[in-house]
Amino acid sequence: MTRLTRLIALGCITALLALPQIQAHAQDKISAAEARAIAKEAYIYGYPMVDGYRIQYGYFVDKTDPEYKGQWNEIHNIPRVYTPEDKAVQTPNSDTPYSFIGADLRAEPLVLTVPEIPEGRYYSIQFIDAYTFNFAYAGSRTTGNEAGSIMLAGPNWNGEKPQGIKKVIQSETEINVLIYRTQLFDPSDIDNVKKIQAGYKVEPLSSFLGTAAPTPAPAIDYIKPISQEEQKSSLEVFTILNFILQFSPTVPSEKELMERFAKIGIGAGKTFDPKKLSPEMKKAFEEGMVDAWKEFSDGAKLLAEGKITAGDVFGTRASMKNNYFYRWLATIGIWGNSKHEAMYPIYFTDASGQKLNGANRYTLHFPKGKLPPAHAFWSLTMYQLPESLLVANPIDRYLINSPMLPDMKMDDDGGLTLYIQHESPGKNMESNWLPAPKGPFSSYLRIYWPKPDALTGKWNPPPVKQVP
């Protein structure tokens, strides 16, 4: 080796040794004001992904978590409806027993097989990527109730649709969550739901085709999530975001966004260490997060006023036009359905604009012929605030839904009046009672497989009125 070659080699080694220091001080190359603005943008972008990962970690990774369901790439049926004891997911529904799959598509696609679902019973499979976009659906509305198999492939899969596969669905991310909802008509119907759930099947494509399995993907060293409360202020949000982004190849529409995020150390393969930030930069990041929450507060107010609807904040990347702020607002009820699958008119206030509170009594009146227009069914569910969780009550009723109509009392004019209050309205009207907590609450009206009148606004939900 010549002296020149040795010097070049020594220079390369020196440069490599200096690389961590270069990365550690990358943020120092931009002003605190620019770092604050980018941190705000990256926080709005990344919060839903971090919150979704928090739930997935509890469901499919942490065996000590009371919400743990089981391994990745297996289907996990929950043969019951949600109760106040279920606390991992905000605003869960309690009228369609769930099944879950945590889908790791790095090695090969998965094949989902469903049995024939009896006519008149609604079911759906919601496909949610790491970005928290609802990128696809299967089920009564989209693929019908007949038996069949669907293939779910990751972003790097290339190939033709295999024989025996009804439909191929491709995700932008390697890690996804799938949520099955199977309609329960009433408590006595639960054994029928269990039978349907037992017919749901998931397997690797190689198993479905009877071919040799590919080399397994490397084991993932999962980063531990932080709590919802910590997500509001901890800079570890960005560390977790970087972890998630390694399973989320950059899409063309986000190339410039990721280049901007890279200025503050955010991106797939990047190391973000809050402890290495200068005091000035740490302050800039924290102020960016505060700025984001101020904007969230304004958006939540518009959501409560109905100026932004649930139909605006859930959907595909294309339908939402990469609206990351709306995607963040959706964490109020994370993993909710897109509007064509289910609509969610939300009640935060009464007819006079006052926030709902169990210290008061309310009615919700549907005139004759004006019940929520659904191809499948509708429900009204109670949530205690600020947790957005189901409410424990003496009659163990967390919702009222259309399958309950035969047992409910109709008004003399053929309409329907629901009583929303903490105390019983009296034994003769308990069939129409939706129990409320003592304090603040919200109520979500769900319309599964909404009819055109609901989608176009020809039908609008009636207001909740306070009883004097």
Band of residue 93 on the pLDDT scale cut at 50, 70, 90: confident
Q: Which helix (H) or strand (E) holds 128?
A: strand 123-129
Identify the CA nearest to 84 among candidates 433, 387, 391, 383.
391
**pLDDT range class, residue 27, cuts 50, 70, 90:** low
What percentage of residues in the chain have a pLDDT greater than 70?
94
Distance, first Cα to last Cα, the chain: 94
**Cis-peptide into 109, omega within 30 deg:** no
Give yes or no for residue 245 having a pLDDT over 70.
yes
- For the cut 50, the answer to whether the pLDDT of residue 179 exceeds it is yes
In the predicted structure, residue 7 carries a pLDDT above the cut 80: no
Q: Return the closest-CA partner of residue 388 out of 282, 271, 303, 292.
A: 303
pLDDT computed for residue 6 by the predictor:
47
- Residue 291: band (very low, low, confident or very high) from pLDDT cuts 50, 70, 90: very high
Break the chain into its structural domains and give their ranges. Answer: 29-339, 345-467
Residues 341/126, Cβ–Cβ less than 8 Å: yes
Q: Record the tokens describing residue 232, joined without a space.
A: 């509001």
Q: Residue 13: its pLDDT value, please?
A: 41
Checking if the pLDDT of 82 tops 60, the result is: yes
pLDDT score at 28: 54
Residue at token pair 């009222």: 400
pLDDT digits (tens, 9 = 90+) for 136-158: 999 999 999 999 999 999 999 99
The CATH number given to 345-467 is: 2.60.120.1600
Give the residue-averaged pLDDT of 360-371. 97
The pLDDT mean for the chain works out to 92
Q: Kindly report the backbone phi and psi dihedral angles of residue 102, in degrees, each rounded to the nearest multiple of 5, phi listed first.
A: -90, 110
pLDDT digits (tens, 9 = 90+) for 125-138: 999 999 999 999 99
DSSP 295-363: HHHHHHHHHHTTSS-HHHHSS-HHHHTT-HHHHHHGGGGTTPPPTTTEE--EESB-TTSPBPBTTS-EE
Span 368-373, mean pLDDT?
A: 96
Average pLDDT over residues 46-66: 97
Is pLDDT of 427 > 80?
yes
For position 306, what pLDDT does the model report?
Answer: 84
The predicted structure's pLDDT at residue 186: 82
- pLDDT, residue 1, reads 44
Residue 113: closest CA among 121, 104, 101, 105: 101
DSSP letter string, 213-282 = PPPPPPPP-PPPP--HHHHTT-THHHHHHHHHHTTSPPPGGGHHHHHHHHTTT-STT----GGGS-HHHH
Q: Starting at the edge strand that comes first in sequence, how are the strands of the sheet with 148-153 ordered?
A: 167-170, 148-153, 110-114, 201-204
One-letter identity of residue 28: D
Both tokens of residue 249? 């190849």
The predicted pLDDT at position 21 comes to 42
Long-range contacts, stretch 199-203, CB < 8 angstroms, 24+ apart: 199/114, 199/115, 200/75, 200/77, 200/99, 200/112, 200/113, 200/114, 200/115, 201/75, 201/112, 201/113, 201/114, 202/73, 202/74, 202/75, 202/101, 202/110, 202/111, 202/112, 202/113, 203/110, 203/111, 203/113
% residues pLDDT > 90 (the chain): 87
pLDDT, tens digit, for every residue of 344-357? 899 999 999 999 99
Task: Quote the pLDDT of residue 148.
Answer: 97
pLDDT in tens, 224-235: 999 999 999 999
Res 368: pLDDT: 96
- Calculate mean pLDDT across residues 451-462: 95
> Does 231 or 20 have the greater pLDDT score?
231
At 391 the pLDDT is 93
Q: 29-339 has which fold? A: Immunoglobulin-like (2.60.40)
Q: Cα separations (Å) of 231 from 121, 307, 341? A: 39, 27, 30
* pLDDT at position 431 over 80: yes
Altogether, the residues listed in the chain come to a count of: 468
Confidence bin at 12 (pLDDT 50/70/90): very low
> Residue 157's CB: how many other CB atoms inside 10 A?
15
Instruction: Return the exposure string of 362-386: e unless at least 16 CB atoms fall within 10 Å of the residue's CB, then b.
Output: bbbebeeeeebbbebbbbbbbbbee
Q: For the residues 78-104, what does the mean pLDDT come to? A: 90
Taking 90 as the threshold, does the pLDDT of residue 161 lie above it?
A: yes
Structural tokens at position 13: 């080694």
Read off the tokens for 397: 């009723």
Average pLDDT over residues 394-423: 95
Site of tokens 């990047």? 270
